[in-house]
Structure 1
């Protein structure tokens, strides 16, 4: 099934550590790596940490209790099983952070409580939205910033396992503040096994606290990617706010050149139906028009009846939108706005080279913009600019190629290179472009950017326009 999903258009596979054993994840990763080897195409693996799950305790009645509208209900630290009047809330951090007037949401927002009284170790609440509350139902705290680590003991164990088996991305759930990203980066640095590649960190934005002050900007600055996790974000924020927040997150990522994924309920009806609703198709298209680098399927492909059809449909929508002239106009307008701040860049020279390469590629109708890279920074700059041609990322490192699979417009290839030998660099570019189907004739043009001496991170200082293969390069390439 994974091979079918890959052939249908999937570039990244998510391993959800909320479910299943660590050993099961290793089996999946091995399968993905074997498919990658079979097709000589980099495939990224994203390990998704569960994060802290905040839940109420248990009730005397296994069926739970029904909370009536406007009744008083207490959440406390008492170990006794709950009844119609109270239940244990085994999270003193929630009680400490909650104030009178704060909202608490139970069971993914099915019930809504307002704190009307606070004592030592307890919260007195009014039931605003009634419903049946059962054992260990989830609690969301949209008004409170909790003084808890984003990493539970389970997450720390899972993170160490991810580092051991070599995932390409680690997704951190329920990020509240920029310091959460600092914490996971420190853990990765401390626990990364010797010789293993360092995974990139993706922050899942699903808490309202991420939008306080400059918090979102700081979070994006500190991580390598962002996920718009609309599930819990849609619980803790009003439904009408989610589309606006989605655009805000995407725009922030675009301005900083960080890839952004839009997730949750993209094609939800395809869990049971072979076709999506028209609203779902529009939702997917809107995320693409907004400027997302990637869109993610969850239950549709993990547990649905039509996983291949869901991936195929999502790919069809992507292709349709990206071939719309209005789409590139939108992307170009955002790129132009971002390029106005190039003088404030931390690397003006590299940004200028990348922007110039984009303009040259457009002017001469090149088939691709080729970037030689070690860590991927030059490619991310090119992707940020949304060129009108594909970006071919060439790197000697498989982990870099995999991580770049998440970025907009990027075709990644792993190839051997030789320091300072520009002829070899050009030949590698032509061979990779041909293998990826980006060129079909020696007359097709490529715009190549690289840093010389090769091997210096972030040192792009060369632009070269070359035929689909120069005289010394095409020989042998067309026979591959």
Structure 2
């Protein structure tokens, strides 16, 4: 089955969508990759969903991607006396490292890494920024702060530190256990939370190797300062606008989103835009007009995929939400301004032969009115290089590797198929034509553009273009 759009849909699985029947309905509605959020649910719960998705994959005969999203370190307040504390602007508060139940003068903040890194003048954002306090003084085990934005503090509310680089690994003991579990299951992608610096990605790579793709969630201002290195070390990027929007001004998020999409296209790395895309559909059968525009903006910007969180995990209308997102993507990509905007946002050419070959294949396919570009790819790199150009012609990615085929479910425009290995040039051409016809991309007498690397089965050697014609019936 073929999608009628280029951009992909990632949907989070939760109580509203975990049954095999619902997963099947979501796939038919348009989901390309399912996200397992390890901040919620047990390992047993996720194992059952994973098994159901793989069963669905066999049933529909199409690869389906699975993304494991690790929780990462969570910085939270401790327990407050009475469970709640109302604070007003101008008031002075004291946070302490140790303490069980605290009040205004001893609010528990059981995170020594904060006390080691914080400095006067820096802010603490509590409960997604609903309360903001500014540090005025500190000792080894206490922080004095003035309330800038007042509100209610309550037990275990999250704390963000936008101006502070914390000496903390993005992989907690829970994450390491979950990661080992996910890799054993065979997830296709691992999303890393709380990445602050390139070494955080290197740490994860040491544990993951090539068993799954690493998707770095950009949600910390510190990550933006080293973003080129982080993108280079990652296999994909998620623009996690929820946490990012807490730590940087709201008005900066749209521009940062565009920068990240452009940087990922330049680096040939898939980029996913996430958080609150159709948030009102958690409880309503239709989105707001602003939400529809938000999804469309990500598509006009050239994002590889857009993601649903609570909408599909706990919402009342998961299937309707996926179908709505698919319709928005399709209508955006067929709008008369889409092609000109995508072309205008092209990040420019990479001056390497493999990139030049892939770009030329896309240009050639448009010039000869080919019906499809067939990319032979072992690791997915050839297909990604072609997709970077965002061609009008569809991309059929042929790979002998099932894991690669599943990861390509995240790549813009790629219809991935697991195909047998080819040993000769003639086999390559014949296989490309056969699969193009079998998958519904080409008919007799159509032209097919083939991009590949020779010798075969060598990663990253995109160096050959061929035009083939489908034989007459």
TM-score (norm: length of structure 2) = 0.93
Q: CA deviation at 1:429?
A: 1.8
Q: CA deviation at 1:466?
A: 1.3
Q: Which residue of 2 aligns with 1:10?
A: 31
2:215 to 199, 202, 208: 202
Q: Which residue of 2 aligns with 1:429?
A: 432
Matches of 1:220 and 1:435 in 2, distance apart? 36
Matches of 1:225 and 1:78 in 2, distance apart? 39
* CA 1:470–1:457: 2 relative to 1, 3 Å: farther
- The answer to whether 1:35 aligns with 2:66 is no
Question: SS of 1:405's equivalent?
Answer: helix
CA contact (8 A) 1:271 1:299 kept: yes
Matches of 2:177 and 2:100 in 1, distance apart? 31
Q: Which stretch of the first structure deviates more once superposed, 350-359 or 158-167?
A: 350-359
Q: Which residue of 2 aligns with 1:407?
A: 411
Q: CA deviation at 1:462?
A: 2.2
Matches of 2:341 and 2:429 in 1, distance apart? 33
2:367 to 363, 368, 375: 363
- The answer to whether 1:274 aligns with 2:285 is yes
Matches of 1:80 and 1:424 in 2, distance apart? 70
Question: SS of 1:338's equivalent?
Answer: coil
Note the 1:107-146 alignment, pairs <5 A: 107-146=127-166
Note the 1:294-373 alignment, pairs <5 A: 294-335=305-346, 337-339=347-349, 342-343=350-351, 348-373=352-377
Aligned residues, how many? Answer: 452
Matches of 1:436 and 1:153 in 2, distance apart? 44
2:458 to 453, 456, 459: 456
Deviations 1:168-206 (A, max 9, x none): 0000011111111000001123xxxxxxx6100000000
Note the 1:1-400 alignment, pairs <5 A: 1-61=22-82, 63-189=83-209, 198-212=211-225, 215-335=226-346, 337-339=347-349, 342-343=350-351, 348-400=352-404
Q: Which residue of 2 aligns with 1:478?
A: none
Q: CA deviation at 1:69?
A: 2.2
Q: Which residue of 1 aligns with 2:471?
A: 470
Structure with larger RCO (C-alpha < 8 A, sep 6+): 2
Q: CA deviation at 1:58?
A: 0.7
Q: CA deviation at 1:68?
A: 2.3
CA contact (8 A) 1:75 1:87 kept: yes
Question: SS of 2:44's equivalent?
Answer: helix
Matches of 1:446 and 1:66 in 2, distance apart? 67
CA contact (8 A) 2:94 2:104 kept: no
Matches of 2:140 and 2:29 in 1, distance apart? 56
Structure 1 unaligned spans of 5+: 190-196, 475-480
Matches of 1:349 and 1:241 in 2, distance apart? 36
CA contact (8 A) 1:417 1:424 kept: no
* CA 1:431–1:26: 2 relative to 1, 3 Å: farther
CA contact (8 A) 1:66 1:84 kept: no
Matches of 2:87 and 2:106 in 1, distance apart? 10
Structure 2 unaligned spans of 5+: 1-21
Matches of 1:418 and 1:242 in 2, distance apart? 46
CA contact (8 A) 2:194 2:217 kept: yes
CA contact (8 A) 1:173 1:203 kept: yes
Matches of 1:460 and 1:239 in 2, distance apart? 41
Deviations 1:116-135 (A, max 9, x none): 11112111000111112111
CA contact (8 A) 2:99 2:106 kept: no
Matches of 1:428 and 1:302 in 2, distance apart? 40
Q: CA deviation at 1:210?
A: 1.4
